[in-house]
């Protein structure tokens, strides 16, 4: 038998649906404390996953403080608006 690679699954912090890791967008808290979108999925830092292109998930995660708990940081509305704009634009750094 062949060794089939198991697909890595992650849970969206907003809608709590479990999806393949590649279909979610990673939001990280960098070691220096900044919160940013990680489009590569490989940046160093504590990460949380969210549905891409769905700002409802981000708003829900912020409303229920799920993103705060996942990243172990207190987010303000300004940061959430910046993340929302980044996710809508789809621009990578």
pLDDT at 46: 96
Per the CB < 8 A criterion, the answer to whether 12 and 51 are in contact is yes
pLDDT at 92: 45
The pTM is what?
0.86
pLDDT at 55: 84
pLDDT at 90: 72
Per the CB < 8 A criterion, the answer to whether 12 and 19 are in contact is yes
pLDDT at 78: 94
Per the CB < 8 A criterion, the answer to whether 21 and 9 are in contact is yes
pLDDT beneath 70: ranges in the chain: 1-2, 91-93
Q: Which CATH class for the 9-89 domain? A: alpha beta
pLDDT at 89: 83
Q: Which single residue is written with the structure tokens 């949380």?
A: 48
């Amino acid at each position: 038998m062949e060794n089939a690679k198991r697909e890595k699954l992650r849970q969206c912090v907003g809608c709590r649906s479990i999806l393949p890791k590649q279909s979610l967008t990673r939001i990280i808290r960098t070691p220096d404390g900044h919160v940013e979108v990680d489009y590569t999925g490989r940046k160093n830092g504590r990460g949380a996953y969210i549905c891409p292109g769905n700002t409802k998930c981000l708003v829900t995660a912020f409303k229920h403080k799920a993103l705060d708990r996942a990243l172990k940081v207190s987010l303000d509305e300004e940061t959430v608006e910046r993340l929302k704009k980044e996710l809508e634009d789809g621009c990578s750094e």
